[in-house]
Structure formats: C-alpha cells, structure tokens
Structure 1
Amino acid sequence: MLKLMIIGLMLALLASLGSGFYFLMVDQGDKNSRRTFHSLGVRLTLALALAGLVIFGVATGKLGHRNPWDAGPRPAAQAEESGE
C-alpha cells in the first residue's frame, strides 16, 4: 500500500510538472496570471508529502533495501574473522 502511494505521488508530481510547463507556455505575456506560480506550490506540496512518506516508510521498516551486494551489518566477531 505504501509503495502504491509513493508511485501515485510521483505520477502526480509529473502531472503537476507538465501543467506548470503548459501554463508557462500559454501565459507568457500575461502579468496577472498566477497559474504557473500555483502549479509550483502544488508541486512543492507533493514533493514534501513524497519525502515525508519515504521517511515514514524507512523509519517504520516498511521500506528497505534488498541488494544482493549488501548483506547489511555484520556482527563484530564475523568482521574480525574476515580480516577487516
């Protein structure tokens, strides 16, 4: 569920980026149009929500890594045996 929420926020960020670009191109000469600025605010809010969600996932242990080259921390006795 957490990963789906992260993917959803990433897609929303891309949509906000596209709408900001569209508003920037359409409203080039209009001094009163604030649509690009509002799009930036939405994108900033989405980015902060995404960062908070990732931090929450890592802190609770729901997000982690399963890299085959990193087995994680080893006990001190095992590290001494291997000569490190």
Structure 2
Amino acid sequence: MLKAAIVLLLLATIASLFSGLVFLVKDDENSTRLLKALTIRVSLAALTLGLITWGFYSGQLVSHAPW
C-alpha cells in the first residue's frame, strides 16, 4: 500500500512538472498558474520524501543493497 502511494505521488509530480512546462510556454506574463504548478510540485515531492522516510523508519521499506 505504501509503495503504491509513493508511485502515485511520483506520477502526480511528473504530471505537475509537465503542466508547469505547458504554462511556461503558453501563458502570458501576468498568469500565476506556473507558480501554482511549482507549489504543487514541491509539495508533492516533500510528501513523497516524507512517505519514503516514514517507510524506512517503520520497516515497511527495506534496502536490499549489498553495501
């Protein structure tokens, strides 16, 4: 369940990234939609990092790296 939430947040972050790109190219100078897209993207990234941190702390996510 936690992994699915992380993947959904990453997909939402990518969608926000591309919507910001569209707003950057298409909007006029006085529009605030680019700023809102950036705010949403940063919030989603912070939430994703928080979920990953919580997953490692709670033991739901583990690293199988050999080092």
What's the TM-score once normalised by structure 2's chain length? 0.93
Q: Hey, what's the Cα distance between the residues in 1 that align with 2:5 and 2:50?
A: 12
Q: Hey, what's the Cα distance between the residues in 1 that align with 2:29 and 2:22?
A: 16
Percent identity between the two aligned chains: 42
Aligned residue for 1:56?
54
* RMSD of aligned alpha carbons: 0.9
Aligned residue for 2:4?
4
Question: After superposition, what is the alpha-carbon deviation per residue over 1:15-70, rounded to whole angstroms, capped at 9, x for unaligned?
Answer: 0001000000101xx22101111100000000000000000000001001123x34
Q: Which runs of 5+ in 1 are unaligned?
A: 71-84
Give the structure, 1 or 2, with the largest relative contact order (CA under 8 Å, sep 6 or more): 2
Aligned residue for 1:66?
64
Larger Rg: 1
Query: What is the one-letter code of the residue matched to 1:20?
Result: G
How many residues matched?
A: 67
Runs of 4+ in 1 over 6 A off after TM superposition: none
Is 1:18 aligned to residue 14 of structure 2?
no
